[in-house]
Amino acid sequence: MSATTPGFKHLLRLSDDTGLFEHARRAVALRHHGYCTDDVARGLVIASREPLPTHRLIRLVECYLAFVTHAQDRSGAFRNRLSFDRRWSDRPGVGDWWGRAMWGLGTAAARNSVPWIRKEALHAFALGAEQRSPHPRAMAFAGLGAAEVLRASPDSTVAAALLTDAVEAIGTPSENASWPWPQPHLTYANAALAELIIAGGDLRGDRQLLSSGLRMLEWLCDIQTRNGRLSVVPVAGWRQGAPRPHYDQQPIEVAALADACATAGLVTGDPSWQEKVRRSVAWFQGANDAGVPMWDPATGGGYDGLTEHGPNLNQGAESTIALISTMQHAGRLS
């Protein structure tokens, strides 16, 4: 691991032969908090994106895939929380974790370098695609998994139907130029909604839909940029017409923005989107409101949030995955 590239070192540290621990105190996994499908699925996404995985990374994907498929029931829904003593504490459902699981499975089915992993992931994806969620973000995450499958297998009717329903679940962006968003508030992983609309427009050949998604993302980038650096909507969210808070900023917002801008650049060929991806990379490197790096080069872990007093030095799964995901885009840019 270099001083500029986090790699998967900390993710391996947070993982065991069951899954991925959700929380950490600084760089030490807090085992008593257990595991969640939400984070394991995120890990499956970024590990499956690696074009030349090491043996250890392939083993990690195998572990994450086994966890996600174990969480799935016969209806295609997923449990989310598994305690350290290997007991599920919830029933199968279609909350955000279902969407994340579908994203992870779709990415593994489309991109993983190991044929049997792709096959098993696609099987679980098809079962999960029988479900729909009433939550727009869950549908957006699932739709991103469907988009991955469609890019690899354009004739997949299962993925096409899920993508169409995800687009409809997000809704039509407002015509208000000052707030061109489908909802009156921004919460978390906001850019994932814009990315889904962009992917839907591209894969369905719908130029109007694509234009709407690009407009959403352009606005989101503009309002989250101050003095040439990213200042993302904090964990408390932001409602239309209300004062804009600035802390605590979460790495997931930065990673979602990098994902969406990378997709926009791929779809349009416009190099200006690459510069927006670089802003996300720079946020982790210190070009943020506090002027501090948001990861620890000694461990490879991403810090859990940016507060008005500086970084939250805990290095949990979500923030570390956000770091790795963003730096994967940095590697492609270079």
Report d(CA 128, CA 76) in Å as an integer.
4
Q: Which of the 8 DSSP states describes residue 12? A: H
pLDDT value at residue 5: 77
pLDDT value at residue 333: 80
The residues, any chain, with a CB within 8 Å of residue 227's CB and separated by 6 or more, are none
Least confident of 241-245, 256-260, 316-320: 241-245
The larger pLDDT score, comparing residue 175 to residue 76, is at 76
248: Cα within 13 Å, side-chain hemisphere: 15
C-alpha 66 chain-centroid distance: 20
Q: What is the mean pLDDT of residues 233-257?
A: 95
- pLDDT beyond 80 at 248: yes
Please provide residue 178's backbone torsions phi and psi, each rounded to the nearest 5 degrees. Answer: -85, -10
- pLDDT beyond 80 at 266: yes
Residue type for position 142 = A
200: Cα within 13 Å, side-chain hemisphere: 29
The residues, any chain, with a CB within 8 Å of residue 110's CB and separated by 6 or more, are 118, 148, 149, 151, 152, 153
Do the Cβ atoms of 40 and 103 come closer than 8 Å? no
β-pairing, 305-307 vs 301-302, is unpaired
Phi-psi domain of 243 (left: phi exceeds 0; alpha: psi -120 through 50; beta: other): beta
Beta-bridged to residue 249, according to DSSP, are: 306
Q: Which of the 8 DSSP states describes residue 31? A: G
Residue type for position 119 = K
pLDDT value at residue 293: 98
Q: How far apart are the first and last CA of the chain?
A: 17
- For 47-100, write each residue's pLDDT tens digit: 999 999 999 999 999 999 999 999 999 999 999 999 999 999 999 999 999 999
Which is nearest to 186 in space by CA: 143, 142, 133, 250? Answer: 250
Would you list the DSSP string of 251-313?
HHHHHHHHHHHHHHHHHH--THHHHHHHHHHHHHHT-STT---SEETTTTEEPSEEETTEEE-
